[in-house]
Amino acid sequence: MKKIGVVGGGFTGTMTAVQLIGKSSHPFEIIIINDKETLNKGTAYNPYSEKHLLNVTAGKMSAYPDNPQHFLNWVIKRDNFVGTDITLLENSFLPRLLYGEYLCSIWEDAKKLAETKRIKITLIHSLVTDLDVSEDAVILSLDDKSKLIVDDCILATGNHIPRNPAIKNVNFYKSNNYFQNPWKIESVIHVNSKLPVLIIGNGLTMVDTIFGLLEQGFDGEIYAISPNGFNILPHRNNGLKYSKLNEELKDNMTIYELVKLVNKHIKSVRKYGLSAESVIDSLRIHTQKIWQTFSHLEKELFMSRLRHLWGVARHRIPLHSHDKIQQLRIDGKLHIKSGKIIDILESQDFITVEYFDKKKNEEKTINISRVINCTGPESNLTNLENSFLKNCLSKRILTQDHLNLGIDADPESFQIKNGEGKPHDHLYTIGSNLKGVLWESTAVNELRDQAERLSEKLKVTDSKVRSEVVV
């Protein structure tokens, strides 16, 4: 029986498996290997708090590209939501925990369907520690030292924990008061309110972390340091669907022409008292294509000059969350700084952080009780600790894009390219591993589409047999 392996059981791995089950007409075995107790939910949809919300409205969160109402139809049948106005629901920001339940319920249905099609599902709770390829198979090593041979393998490894910022005293990163993984509840519990907390980064995870700290009863001060200290923006689209920019987009525009065009349209909507949000959103469907036409130099320019601005424009929060963040700033509880951390030293009573304050143009120090790293998922494989992806890189089974944002792969077939740039016949990747190739390859609306397209390619419609699993 054909075996398809999926490394990673978050949204991407789950939906690829679900789509494969739905599209296949012949028996095969699907093996999902996930290292954490987060099957189906992954990092994003297994939050420690009800207060952690989806950053996209419910109407845009269907797990199926061809059934946009699927999530809404699931939600409306839940006890808490029966009778709710569907338009209201469509435009609301629901808890990510609820979305995790949605994915689990999709998975339960897929398991039933698999049984009727005699598709075998094997779930392995283990870490993939290494990977090799042969002519017609992929060999996975697991952390119990066993090996698993599959005909096709999909890497859906998703979000890696943030990288440690470069400081002089790297020993600090061994401290119990440093939290490299901001998505675990440990980062916000048992915090001493007498001293401030430092959050590195000021994006969406900073917001989640602040709400997590408050929920745990923390009422001290919070510092957040990021290179530019940009204000996180709220969603304030009034429903405007902007199309003028699209009409003027041409193939192969340079980065300069694009920036000029976007600025022109932002100016034009602002003239009417409207937010620039609709202009940025109208670009969304084109970003992957635009990114692929950029030269190396243009991509480098984007990363050095525009990446942070783009991040702020794209990653917005619900208005009421934004209000709470602003209130904390007004109350002197939250201080957002633009700058760079120079060093972090821990003594018996506190942690001293030295940083360069960009606005004041001087070095400053603050004494705090803990540091939470909210700089976002690491995508450069060379910075990962103990990852099989890093091994694959050194064995030239795979290679990175030139900016080291992910894995080099064909964006149409999802085949991973080896060190010589040749696509593998049986090794694929989707999700955030494709960031270097597509730039936008993180959110549900991109991932559901990738899962659908890859499973269309890999679906099993005849009964090829391969040798049994070797352990």
Ligand X SMILES: Cc1cc2nc3c(=O)[nH]c(=O)nc-3n(C[C@H](O)[C@H](O)[C@H](O)COP(=O)(O)OP(=O)(O)OC[C@H]3O[C@@H](n4cnc5c(N)ncnc54)[C@H](O)[C@@H]3O)c2cc1C
Binding residues vs ligand X (CB under 6 A): 7-13, 33-36, 38, 42-44, 54-56, 96, 127-128, 156-159, 183, 205, 377, 388, 431-432, 442-444, 447
Residue among 158, 39, 181, 127 nearest 407 (CA):
158
Which residue's CB is nearer to ligand X, number 153 or number 368?
A: 153
Burial 144-163 (b: 16+ CB within 10 A, else e): eeeebbbbbbbbbbbbbbbb
Q: Strand pairing of 415-417 and 423-429? A: antiparallel
Shortest gap between Cβ of 169 and ligand X (angstroms)? 28
Distance CA 299, CA 297 (A): 5
Shortest gap between Cβ of 33 and ligand X (angstroms)? 5
Shortest gap between Cβ of 382 and ligand X (angstroms)? 16
Residue among 177, 158, 173, 203 nearest 378 (CA):
158
Which residue's CB is nearer to ligand X, number 368 or number 447?
A: 447
Which residue's CB is nearer to ligand X, number 126 or number 192?
A: 126
Distances in Å between the alpha carbon of 86 and those of 72, 97, 347?
8, 20, 54
Which residue's CB is nearer to ligand X, number 157 or number 177?
A: 157
User: What's at 55, amino acid-wise?
Assistant: N
Shortest gap between Cβ of 402 and ligand X (angstroms)? 23
Shortest gap between Cβ of 243 and ligand X (angstroms)? 23
Distance CA 45, CA 47 (A): 6
Which residue's CB is nearer to ligand X, number 31 or number 353?
A: 31
Shortest gap between Cβ of 9 and ligand X (angstroms)? 6
Shortest gap between Cβ of 411 and ligand X (angstroms)? 16
CA 87 to chain centre: 27
Shortest gap between Cβ of 442 and ligand X (angstroms)? 5
Q: What does the block give as tokens for 120? A: 């075998």
Which residue's CB is nearer to ligand X, number 19 or number 55?
A: 55
Shortest gap between Cβ of 17 and ligand X (angstroms)? 11
Shortest gap between Cβ of 61 and ligand X (angstroms)? 7
Which residue's CB is nearer to ligand X, number 19 or number 157?
A: 157
Which residue's CB is nearer to ligand X, number 202 or number 369?
A: 202
Residue among 443, 225, 455, 240 nearest 334 (CA):
225
Neighbours of 120 (CB within 10 A): 14
Which residue's CB is nearer to ligand X, number 16 or number 415?
A: 16
Which residue's CB is nearer to ligand X, number 96 or number 370?
A: 96
